[in-house]
Amino acid sequence: AGRLSFLLGLRGPSMAIDTACSSSLVAVHIACQSLRQGESDLCLVQGVNILLSPEITINHSRAGMLAPDGRCKAFDDSADGFVRSEGCGAIVLKPLSKARKDGDNVLAVIKGDCVNHDGHSSGLTVPSGPSQQEVIRSAIKNANLKPEDIHYIESHGTGTAMGDPIEIGALAAVFGTSHSKLQPLIVGSVKANIGHLEPAAGIAGIIKT
């Protein structure tokens, strides 16, 4: 991160963030905080994943975490593992008022954001449904919205038999009473298209959305 700031002449906070699969989403959260506090007036947020050696893939395969057919089948009955993939993405964040003043092409507005951790769950790689509910509710509250205002969720959706049901359960707990067949909540996962970019997965989901 420091090398990029040196190359581009950026003088604001510069850091590399590692929170596993949520790394680039946490980076977006920290960038939003920096903008809100006036610490920065523009943030460049990036995520990248490069598969440089086979060891991790071999370990994941031995643990039964990878889809044997190389297909990520998010939220499908046939989901049997995720697919590791390479890629990178970057977004430019500014306060909305500054972006409009500068005549920028505004593609989206981040109204609210929140970060938490599963804490103690049944396993290191096992997500916590209650923690997921909590962070979703907090993000909605921070955005001054209500569950019924949300119509699309870009999910984690790795295509695993354990993680996907927990995630759908958390979404159902938050949105189950505010949505119906007449007002559905659409859930997607970019991993079904490009695989799991691991630390860059979040930025890929934001760009897709």
**Report field, pTM of the whole predicted structure over 0.85:** yes
Residue-level pLDDT, tens digit, the chain, 209 residues:
999 999 999 999 999 999 999 999 999 999 999 999 999 999 999 999 999 999 999 999 999 999 999 999 999 999 999 999 999 999 999 999 999 999 999 999 999 999 999 998 888 778 999 999 999 999 999 999 999 999 999 999 999 999 999 999 999 999 999 999 889 999 999 999 999 999 999 999 999 99
Within 8 A by CB and 6+ apart from 91, the residues are 28, 44, 45, 46, 203, 206, 207
**pLDDT of res. 25:** 98
Cα torsion angle, 147, 148, 154, 159, sign? positive
Q: Could you report the per-residue pLDDT of 88-123, keeping only the tens digit for each?
A: 999 999 999 999 999 999 999 999 999 999 998 888
Q: What is the 3-state secondary structure (H, E, C) of 90-127?
A: EEEECCHHHHHHCCCCCCCCCCCCCCCCCCCCCCCCCC
What would the pLDDT profile of 21-34 be if each residue is shown by its tens digit? 999 999 999 999 99
